[in-house]
């Protein structure tokens, strides 16, 4: 059984302009110890998907449907206290901006101690010694002194290391990292990614990396899921998606990654147009107004996600016509 399995997950927000379908029919599964990358532009629903797993999108204005199975238990149907006992203990999350994600008025040691003591009746002293160890394991120098620092006294990279320490405090089975490097300097980004990879192999947890940057995800994921306007448009192993991308959107993302030895920025091929407004999505395939391969039929029907390889699925009847046949079978 997969550790995390989303089946037909839908998340919608009630707003003044109407119902916004942020996540639409997302199905994916992640095994223990594996790494999955969730890619898409802002507004593609990738962050909402991640937050929904932890129940952090729950509110009176939110409607979630489908299933989000964690170890066979549907997270969408758990009570608040059942969900709380999983949060931080078995499923943990690292957020995009470590400065705003850490409490500005509490010392970092206090914030890590708290994560431990929320789930275990540890004494303050025992929690503190674990906090110091955690800080050391995420690569913070002189952790005995650093525990008494406030977030604003640390560098961006250090803050994200503290966030990782909080997330890993109770050795979770699943770590969700939402744009873990987007707010950091380029030189620090690779350090944080390496740290995540190292800790993952040491602790054997599953890792779900959410990013708009295929470059971040290409490095270290086993599987990649590409989202556009709330739907999965392509998913498969890293080799499928990076090496043999089929969906025009995935190809567009790959063409817009700069390489040191590749073309200059001016010669990169951006995807024309802008991501659609979630309140009024284009009919049919939401990508068709920006797609160079679009046919008239693309505006009529939302394409099904269909198998094109052993684990490779694509939602584009133009570029993967076989897929249409397989879905009709």
Residues within window 65-84 making contact with another protein, judged by CB under 8 A = 80, 84
The DSSP bridge pattern shows strands 206-211 and 35-39 to be parallel
The pair of structure tokens assigned to 32 is: 């223990």
DSSP 3-state of 286: coil
HSE toward the beta carbon, residue 243, CA cutoff 13 A? 10
Least distance to another protein, CB of residue 132, Å = 18
Least distance to another protein, CB of residue 16, Å = 13
Nearer to another protein, 89 or 313 (CB): 89
Stretch that binds another protein, among 85-93, 129-137, 203-211, 216-224 (CB under 8 A): 85-93
- Tell which one of 16, 79, 105, 187 touches another protein (CB under 8 A): 105
Q: Are 48 and 54 in contact (CB under 8 A)?
A: no
Please list the residues that pair with 18 across neighbouring strands. Answer: 15
The pair of structure tokens assigned to 151 is: 């977030």
From edge to edge, which strands make up the β-sheet containing 231-237?
91-94, 174-178, 206-211, 35-39, 223-228, 231-237, 313-314, 306-307
- Tell which one of 7, 10, 87, 136 touches another protein (CB under 8 A): 87
Residue partners of 68: CB distance under 8 A and separation at least 6: 4, 5, 6, 7, 9, 52, 53, 74, 75, 76
Residues within window 107-126 making contact with another protein, judged by CB under 8 A = 114-115, 118-119
Helical (H) or strand (E) element with 94: strand 91-94
State how far the Cα of 303 lies from the Cα of 327, in Å rounded to an integer.
10
The pair of structure tokens assigned to 217 is: 């995800």
Residue 205 touching another protein (CB under 8 A): no
Q: Please give the size of the binding site for another protein, defined by CB under 8 A.
A: 29
The pair of structure tokens assigned to 115 is: 């994560």
Nearer to another protein, 97 or 219 (CB): 97
x/- binding map, residues 132-161, to another protein, per CB under 8 A? ------------------x-x---------
- Tell which one of 24, 101, 189, 221 touches another protein (CB under 8 A): 101
Residue partners of 212: CB distance under 8 A and separation at least 6: 39, 40, 41, 42, 46, 179, 182
Residues within window 248-287 making contact with another protein, judged by CB under 8 A = none
Least distance to another protein, CB of residue 291, Å = 35
Least distance to another protein, CB of residue 120, Å = 11
- Tell which one of 40, 43, 45, 88 touches another protein (CB under 8 A): 88
Stretch that binds another protein, among 127-135, 162-170, 265-273, 291-299 (CB under 8 A): 162-170
State how far the Cα of 140 lies from the Cα of 41, in Å rounded to an integer.
32
State how far the Cα of 10 lies from the Cα of 285, in Å rounded to an integer.
17
Nearer to another protein, 77 or 106 (CB): 106
Nearer to another protein, 60 or 261 (CB): 60
Residue 85 touching another protein (CB under 8 A): yes
Separate counts of helices (H) and strands (E) for the chain: 12, 12
Least distance to another protein, CB of residue 102, Å = 6
Q: Which residues are near another protein by CB under 8 A?
A: 54, 56, 80, 84-89, 92-93, 95, 97, 100-106, 114-115, 118-119, 150, 152, 163, 166-167
């Amino acid at each position: 059984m997969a550790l995390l399995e989303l089946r037909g997950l839908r998340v919608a927000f009630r707003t003044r302009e109407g119902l916004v379908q942020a996540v639409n029919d997302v199905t994916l599964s992640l095994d223990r110890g594996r790494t999955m990358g969730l890619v898409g532009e802002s507004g593609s629903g990738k962050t909402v998907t991640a937050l929904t797993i932890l129940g952090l999108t729950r509110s009176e204005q939110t409607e979630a449907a489908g299933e989000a199975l964690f170890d066979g238990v549907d997270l969408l149907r758990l009570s608040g206290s059942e969900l709380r006992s999983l949060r931080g203990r078995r499923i943990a999350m690292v957020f995009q901006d470590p400065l705003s994600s850490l409490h500005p008025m509490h010392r970092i040691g206090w914030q890590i101690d708290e994560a431990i003591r929320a789930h275990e009746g540890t004494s303050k002293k025992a929690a503190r010694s674990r906090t110091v160890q955690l800080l050391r394991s995420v690569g913070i120098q002189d952790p005995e002194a650093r525990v008494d620092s406030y977030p604003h006294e640390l560098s961006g990279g250090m803050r994200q290391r503290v966030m990782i320490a909080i997330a890993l405090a109770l050795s979770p089975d699943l770590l969700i990292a939402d744009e873990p490097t987007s707010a950091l300097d380029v030189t620090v980004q690779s350090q944080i990614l390496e740290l995540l990879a190292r800790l993952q192999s040491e602790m054997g947890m599953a890792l779900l990396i959410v990013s708009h940057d295929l470059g971040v995800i290409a490095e270290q994921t086993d599987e990649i899921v590409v989202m556009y306007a709330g739907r999965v448009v392509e998913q498969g192993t890293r080799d499928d998606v990076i090496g043999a991308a089929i969906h025009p959107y995935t190809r567009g993302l790959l063409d817009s990654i700069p390489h040191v030895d590749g073309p200059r920025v001016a010669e990169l091929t951006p995807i024309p147009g802008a991501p659609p407004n979630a309140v009024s999505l284009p009919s049919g395939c939401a990508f068709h107004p920006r797609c160079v391969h679009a046919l008239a039929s693309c505006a009529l029907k939302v394409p099904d996600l269909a198998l094109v390889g052993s684990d490779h699925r694509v939602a584009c009847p133009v570029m993967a016509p076989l897929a249409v046949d397989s879905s009709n079978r």
